[in-house]
Chain A
């Protein structure tokens, strides 16, 4: 398995892009197992985004399953001049929006317990599941479009240009969303401090 390596300001270094293209070609040549290499390479990263975006395991797994299946079905339309990771993330972001829209009809309850169970134990001092639960709750309070922009910028560490290519939204609108998300968080902090 090849780990994804972050480049400064970017998402995946060229070596991985070559691996992705080779795996895509293997799948198109009939080697279905080559797809599991792509799944292994991106599943955890996509899972983090889906869980942070949707707030619970069941919805996140639905979005992930739909994302990787749709990518598989559309693999012959993937073009190598695009980064596979960016293409996949575009599908993921749309799937998360769809799942969130469906969920809106169901309920708006944020399942904190599930988010707590999902997260990796961490041995660094000062961390506890309570922090994790708290962070999920804070993210859930942001409007979906603000949360999406905040996650892409600060958790996936994408550039605004990458975010724009991925969401189809202009750079200035994305900057505004990120700023508003940060403003909301800061205002939340001010309220906590003054309580």
Chain B
């Protein structure tokens, strides 16, 4: 069997799609007019640039020493801050809720799409892969649901309905990031089912 990626038809499609496109020449003029109407971007002050995140290279030995140091700091901090049973030093026994194990919570996602043929969930928890968490239709109601375990914290997600992306109308949306993309947000508490 021929590998699909080596298939002549696939190669033909790719070759045709690589052809250049002609765009409306006025579109660039419109774009530059819009750019000129914008406030000028300015260099950020030096003190701001000092605190921006940056990548650096560390040798294997250096990374091992760094890891050992961080573990040591964590152990020391834990020894001073917590009792042996995990309570903060000097505090009464914790309430039941806070004793729940730090484990995944079972979270239910619901989407209403009476006409849809397929609905799936994509998010930061499944690598935005539309195949991993398909929703199941409940009868003829147009209600689609899926439940899955999620770690505590903030999760960003969307629904793929018949191949097109949709935000969850019942959830808050992310503010558009620097790249202009917004999705829905679900905050998951520790050890509870939502």
Write the residues of chain A forming the contact surface with B, with a CB cutoff of 8 angstroms: 27-30, 32, 35-36, 39-40, 43-44, 47-48, 51-52, 57, 60-61, 64-70, 72-77, 79, 81, 90-91, 94-95, 97-98, 100-101, 103-105, 108, 118-120, 122, 127, 131-132, 135, 138-139, 143-145, 150-151, 154-155, 167-170, 173, 176-179, 182-183, 185-186, 188-189
Interface pair B40/A64, CB less than 8 Å apart? no
Question: Dominant SS at the B interface?
Answer: loop
Least CB distance from A93 to B in Å reads 8
Indicate with 1 or 0, residue by residue over B37-67, a CB within 8 angstroms of chain A CB atoms.
0101111100000001011000000000000
Least CB distance from B127 to A in Å reads 5
Pick the residue among B17, B21, B35, B128 that contacts A69 (CB under 8 A). B35
Question: A169: which B residues are within 8 A, CB to CB?
Answer: 127-129
Interface pair A39/B17, CB less than 8 Å apart? no
Write the residues of chain B forming the contact surface with A, with a CB cutoff of 8 angstroms: 2, 4-5, 7, 9-10, 13-14, 16-24, 27-28, 30-32, 34-36, 38, 40-44, 52, 54-55, 122, 127-130, 158, 160-167, 176-182
A selection of 19 A-B contacts at a CB cut-off of 8 Å is: A39-B32, A48-B21, A61-B24, A73-B38, A73-B41, A94-B179, A101-B167, A118-B22, A120-B22, A131-B16, A139-B13, A144-B164, A144-B165, A154-B17, A168-B128, A169-B129, A179-B4, A182-B10, A188-B9
Going nearest first, the 8 A-B pairs with the smallest beta carbon separation are A104-B164, A182-B4, A94-B181, A189-B9, A154-B14, A94-B179, A75-B41, A101-B165
Interface pair A76/B17, CB less than 8 Å apart? no
Question: A75: which B residues are within 8 A, CB to CB?
Answer: 41
CA distance A64 to B35 in the complex (A): 12
Which residue on A lies nearest to B162, using beta carbons? A108
Interface pair A101/B158, CB less than 8 Å apart? yes
Interface pair B9/A185, CB less than 8 Å apart? yes
Interface pair A143/B17, CB less than 8 Å apart? no
Pick the residue among B21, B36, B182 that contacts A119 (CB under 8 A). B21
Least CB distance from B142 to A in Å reads 17
Interface pair A70/B179, CB less than 8 Å apart? yes
Interface pair A143/B130, CB less than 8 Å apart? yes
Question: B55: which A residues are within 8 A, CB to CB?
Answer: 81
Question: A104: which B residues are within 8 A, CB to CB?
Answer: 161, 164-166
Question: B13: which A residues are within 8 A, CB to CB?
Answer: 135, 138-139, 185
